[in-house]
Every structure is written in C-alpha cells, then in structure tokens.
Structure 1
Amino acid sequence: MKKKKKFLYLFCVTLVLISVFCMTAYAAPTGDVAGAIESTWKDASAQIKTVVNKVVFPAIDLILAVFFFAKLGMAYFDYRKHGMFEWTAPAILFACLIFTLTAPLYIWQILGM
C-alpha cells in the first residue's frame, strides 16, 4: 500500500511539474505550422551544413584513417606470420575513407540543400 501511495504521489508531482513548465507554441497568427517549420529549416540548414562539414565529416575521416592504418598494420603482421596478405578489410576501409573525404563535395546536392 505504501508503494502504491508513493507512486501516486510521484505521478501527481510529475503532472504538476509538466503543467507548470509547459507552454503553448504558436506557429503563426494564421496557424500555418508547415510555413513555420520551413522557415526554421531554412534558417538552420546553413548552420547544420557548416557543422557537418567542419566537425562530423572530419571526425569520421579521422576514425576511418586510424582504423585503416591499424588494419593495414595488422594485415602486414599476418602476412609476416602466415605468408598471405589479406586485402579485403584494408580495401573496404580505404574505400570508405575516400567516400567520406569526398562526401562534402556532393552530398548536399544529393540532399537538395
């Protein structure tokens, strides 16, 4: 019974806090929600594009470059041990690295930004 009371109290406090901190958002005087979303997207798309080009793609490139050189080193040591060089994993990582290095040049035209 105490557990049930505690849960009910917590639920009521949560509802009160939600009702206190919520606010009504109006799209525009005409109620055009789609227009408000489109104008917000137009304002934010340039910032998103800049962040992706200057932060996200370089971070992905760095991670792929580290993985590529680590896998290349491991493949070399496997070659020294077994006498057979496995090209598949380094080739896939290299292709992904080339793809992400060149992606900022064409990805925005594909997405229509």
Structure 2
Amino acid sequence: MKRCKKIALALTLVLMVSLLFSTTAFAANGDVAGAIEGTWNDASGQIKTVVNKVVFPAIDLILAVFFFAKLGTAYFDYRKHGQFEWAAPAILFACLVFTLTAPTYIWQILA
C-alpha cells in the first residue's frame, strides 16, 4: 500500500510540474494550423540552436563510441575465428556519417 501511495504521489508531482511549465496556444477563429505555425515560428530559432549544438553532437558521440567498440570486437572476433564481420561496423559508420551531416540539410527538409 505504501508503494502505491509513492507511485501516486510521484505521478501527481509529474502532472503538476508539466501543467506548471506548459503553455497554451490559442487559435483565433478556429485557425489551429495558424496557431501551431505561429508557435513554431516563434520558437524555431531556439529549437534549431539546441538541436544543432546539443542533440546532434551527443548522438554523434554515442555513435562514435559504439562504432569503435564494435570495430574492436569485430577485430577480436576476426583474430579468433578468421572471418571479419562487416555488417555492424558498416551500419554504425553509415549512421555516424548521417548524423554528422544532418545539421546541414535537416532544416531544409523540415521547413
């Protein structure tokens, strides 16, 4: 019973915090698309800056670590079995190249 109360309290706290920090976008005359577009236009600069300077570098770092770790394990498997498995390192390398180049073109696709 005590655990159930803790979970309920935690969910209530999360709900209250989300309601506290959320904002309402009002649509004039039922123009919901215009309200969403206006909100995006107001916040797009900040969103683009955060994504380009925080999100993409974090993803790049994670993929680079996984790529080199997988390359190392593939090399040790090659030393053990005599056959090099290229699939996993190739997929990680392709994902790394994609995320490294994504900031140059992703905003033209989304805009």
Report the TM-score, using the length of structure 1 for normalisation: 0.70
Larger relative contact order (CA 8 Å, sep ≥ 6): 1
- Higher normalized helix content (fraction of residues): 2
Counterpart-to-counterpart distance in 2, 1:40 and 1:26: 7
Amino acid at match of 1:46: G
Q: For residue 67 of structure 1, what is the aligned residue in structure 2? A: 66
- 1:20-39 alignment to 2 at 5 Å? 27=26, 30-31=28-29, 33-34=31-32, 35-39=34-38
3-state secondary structure, aligned to 2:83: coil
Identity %: 79
Counterpart-to-counterpart distance in 2, 1:36 and 1:89: 44
Counterpart-to-counterpart distance in 2, 1:81 and 1:96: 27
Amino acid at match of 1:96: C
Deviations 1:30-89 (A, max 9, x none): 545533332221111111111110111111100000000000000000011011111111
Q: How many residues were matched structurally?
A: 91
Mark the structure with the bigger radius of gyration. 1
Unaligned runs of 5+ in 2: 1-11
Residue 85, structure 1, aligned to residue 84, structure 2: yes
Runs of 4+ in 1 over 6 A off after TM superposition: none
Amino acid at match of 2:26: A
Report the TM-score, using the length of structure 2 for normalisation: 0.71
3-state secondary structure, aligned to 1:58: helix
Unaligned runs of 5+ in 1: 1-13
Q: For residue 50 of structure 1, what is the aligned residue in structure 2? A: 49
3-state secondary structure, aligned to 1:53: helix
Amino acid at match of 1:84: Q
